[in-house]
Amino acid sequence: MDLSRKLRIDAGKHVKLAQFDPDDTPGFTKQSAQKSLERNLERLSELQYLLYAENRHALLVVLQGVDASGKDGTIRHVMTGLNPQGVSVTPFKAPSVDELDHDYLWRIHRSVPPRGDIGIFNRSHYEDVLIVRVHRLVDRSVWSKRYDQINAFEKMLVENRILVLKFFLHIGSDEQKKRIQERIDDPKRRWKLSPSDFEERRHFGDYQSAYEDVLSRCSTSWAPWFLVPANRKWYRNLAVSQIIVDALESLKMKFPPPTIDLTKYRLE
């Protein structure tokens, strides 16, 4: 099954999240998905090496979703076989005083990976049309302009050979509640809880509406959104890994020629 095509949000499509089942695992069982994931991770390691060697492109992976949707888990399970020297993970939390003194994309651009590398955003510039909207941190007249600004920003990145892949990890309200309760019940995971987990939970519906606008207005031909059913973690990992592999293979990368004339050198 072509997961890249199935899960991609076409540019201009009006998205209603109620029409997408977060439990969906089309065509896969947990067992078959595990085998495919193992192949993808092996291939992803090979493609990372080729990306670094060719040094013509960078890969930017954007992970978004409500609290407990699996952003951290996706990073652990999908990126586990990568060479850490060529990977950066940037979590975007509340902006610092210094960051607030700049435009909202300033801190984002500073974290974009260089050519040859893979960058992973755990949350991203989309927080500036999500949390600021839900909590009314800025006026609608401010955040409503940002969809077009973000599209232009991402187009500039792509035109400079940065491959942008954006994943919305779609979980249901009941699943979110279950995962937060599991953290409460597990002494080894309680440290991850904060007052915001309980506050944000009350805004689940507001975030769904905000994400619908993000997916509808910011899935473009150059930087598409992929809506990944994420209630089943094994399917989430498979889907994200497969889409990344497909995208990197589409670059048709090649190893560069030697930088020296090997006929002039001899091993003694």
What's the DSSP call for residue 192? G
Percentage helix, strand, coil for the chain under 3-state DSSP, each rounded to 5:
50, 10, 35
DSSP assignments along 200-217, one per residue: HHTTHHHHHHHHHHHHHH
What would the pLDDT profile of 228-267 be if each residue is shown by its tens digit?
A: 999 999 999 999 999 999 999 999 999 999 999 988 998 9
Domains and CATH numbers, the chain: 3-251 (3.40.50.300)
Contact 28, 237 (CB under 8 A): no
C-alpha span between 190 and 197 (Å, rounded): 11
What are the two backbone dihedrals, phi and then psi, of residue 198, each rounded to the nearest 5 degrees? -80, -35
Q: What residue spans of the chain are helical by DSSP H? A: 3-7, 30-54, 71-78, 97-100, 106-110, 131-134, 140-143, 146-159, 173-185, 195-201, 204-218, 233-249
pLDDT of 156: 98
Contact 108, 125 (CB under 8 A): yes
C-alpha span between 86 and 99 (Å, rounded): 25
Contact 110, 127 (CB under 8 A): no
Q: What residue spans of 113-203 are helical by DSSP H? A: 131-134, 140-143, 146-159, 173-185, 195-201
C-alpha span between 243 and 5 (Å, rounded): 9
Weakly modelled stretches of the chain, pLDDT under 50: none
pLDDT of 51: 98
For the entire predicted model, the pTM comes to 0.96
Helix 146-159 with 204-218: angle, nearest 10 deg: 50
C-alpha span between 158 and 181 (Å, rounded): 40
pLDDT of 192: 87
pLDDT of 187: 95
If residue 162 lies in a helix (H) or strand (E), which one and from where to where? strand 162-170
Please measure the distance between the N-terminal and C-terminal CA atoms of the chain and give it in whole angstroms. Answer: 52
Using CA atoms of 169, 232, 186, 35 in order, give the dihedral in degrees to the nearest 10.
-110
What would the pLDDT profile of 6-34 be if each residue is shown by its tens digit?
A: 999 999 999 999 999 999 999 899 999 99
C-alpha span between 24 and 235 (Å, rounded): 9
Q: Which of 214, 210, 95, 209 is nearest to 147 (CA)?
A: 214
pLDDT of 11: 97
C-alpha span between 47 and 26 (Å, rounded): 26
